[in-house]
Amino acid sequence: MSVLPAALQPTRDAFLTRTTPAARLVAGVVWLVASVVTLDPIVPVRLAVAAIVVLWLWSGLPMRRIPGRLAPLGFAVLSLTVFSILLSSANGDRTLSTVAQIGPARITGPAISAGIAVGLRVVVIALTTLLVFGPSDPTRMADSLVQQWHVPDRFAYGTLAAVRVAPFMAGDWATIGAARRLRGLAPRGPVARVREAGGRLLVMLVSSIRRAERLALAMDARGFDSGLRRTHFREVRTGWRDWLTIAAAIAVAAVALFVPR
């Protein structure tokens, strides 16, 4: 599926690739919360800078692919910023001075700064997400959640199996469209197009359900539902890097929030 971004994988060994996904998740949530609790734009600015530095030095991810990865968000960031400014409750506050007047809409200074904060917040969230998920693959994420947080393992590994077969759906979708075109059923006009997309979606879901059934049968044949407590081939243990990561994340968040400009 060409519209989807390609998987982002670390290209070298780095500090974060040796941390456990669970630790990175904790660190990520700390930054997420820090960026959400205030409307002062300086906080997301500081966090974004910190995230870029970490991404660059310690994530092992290829930097040149990051901008492309974040580009689709640019548009949404812009619109969220504009609307947060236009519709801010601060605009109704008569004690504040007017910065700009667009038709009937009056815009105040605090509205602008809050709007920028909301937009930047999205940037921080996107960068943080890359730092959490980027440095290791979904298998290690499942291992980590099961062994460190005791997430129910049937659900974790069942989901992992689904993630593995999910890319087949993209191929299915293309094939279904092709089959319909060949059979002379390509839609003409908007109504036919919507109906056709519905039919196509249905076939794709049906074939996905069947695929999932076959996979589940194969897993059961290998004792997945045996009722025994699963053991772990690959051990995940919390190490000093994990604690360091979490501590550093908290420290950076505190600096971003509490150090005056």
Partner 1 sequence: MTEAPAGRPSGAAAAPPSIEATGLGWTYAGRRRPAIEGLTFRLEAGRVLLVLGPSGSGKSTLARALAGLVPHVQPGSWQGSLRVGELEVADTPARLLGERIGLVFQDPDSQLVMTRVDDEVAFGLENRAWSRTEMTARVPLALAQVGLSGFEHRSTVTLSGGEKQRLAIADILAARPGLLVLDEPTANLDPPGMYSVFEQLAVLAKRREHTIVLIEHRLEAALPLADDVLLMDDGGHQLAFAPAGAVGREAVELLDRSGAWVPRAWTGAGTSRAVERATARAVERAKARAVERATAPASQPAARGGRPADPSALLVEATGVRLEYPADTSGKRLALDAVSVAVHSGERIALVGPNGAGKSSLLFAIAGLLRPAAGTVRLRALPRNGEAVEPLRDPSRLRSSEIAARIGLVFQDPELGFVAGTARDEVNASARAAGGRTGTGSGGPDDLGADGALARFGLGHLAAEVPFALSQGEQRRLSLAALALRPPAVLLLDEPTFGLDRRGTEAVLALLDEGRTAGQAQILATHDPRLLPACDRVVALDRGRVVFDGSPAAFLAAPPFEPAEPWRDGVAPGPASTPRTAVP
Partner 2 sequence: MKALETTKPAAELLRWRTVDIVVVALLAVAFGVVFWAWGTYVWAWGSFLGPQTESLLTGVWLLPAVVCPMIVRRPGAALFGELVAAIISALLGSYWGLDTLLSGLLQGAGAEVVFLITMYRAWNPVVAVLAAAGAGIGEAIHDLIVNYPGLDDAGRAAIGAAEIVSAIVIVGIGGWLLVRALRRTGALQTFPSGG
Binding region for partner 2 (CB under 8 A): 3-5, 8, 28-29, 32, 36, 39, 69-70, 72-73, 75-77, 79-80, 83-84, 87-90, 92, 111, 114, 118, 122, 125-126, 128-130, 132-133, 138, 154-155, 158-159, 161-163, 165-166, 169, 202, 204-206, 208-213, 215-217, 219-220, 224-225
Taking the complex as a whole, how short is the minimal distance between the CB of residue 241 and partner 2, in angstroms?
20
Give the residues across from 106 on adjacent strands. 101
User: Would you tell me which residues interact with partner 1 (CB under 8 A)?
Assistant: 2, 6-7, 9, 137-139, 157, 160-161, 164-165, 168, 172, 175-176, 178-186, 199, 203, 206-207, 210-211, 214-215, 217-235
Taking the complex as a whole, how short is the minimal distance between the CB of residue 7 and partner 2, in angstroms?
9
- The number of residues making up the chain comes to 261
Tokens describing residue 180: 């319909």
CA 211, 217, 222, 224 dihedral sign is positive
Question: Quick one: what does residue 28 bind among partner 1, partner 2, none, with the CB cut-off 5 to 8 Å set by partner type?
Answer: partner 2
66-86 vs 109-133: helix crossing angle, rounded to 10:
150
Question: Quick one: what does residue 52 bind among partner 1, partner 2, none, with the CB cut-off 5 to 8 Å set by partner type?
Answer: none
Taking the complex as a whole, how short is the minimal distance between the CB of residue 20 and partner 1, in angstroms?
16
DSSP letter string, 165-201: HTHHHHHHHHHHHHHHHHTT----SHHHHHHHHHHHH
**Smaller CB distance to partner 1: residue 47 or 156?**
156
Strand ranges for the chain from DSSP E:
98-102, 105-108
Which DSSP symbol is given to 7?
A: P
Q: What angle do CA 58, 63, 64 make, to 5 degrees?
A: 170
Question: Quick one: what does residue 233 bind among partner 2, partner 1, none, with the CB cut-off 5 to 8 Å set by partner type?
Answer: partner 1
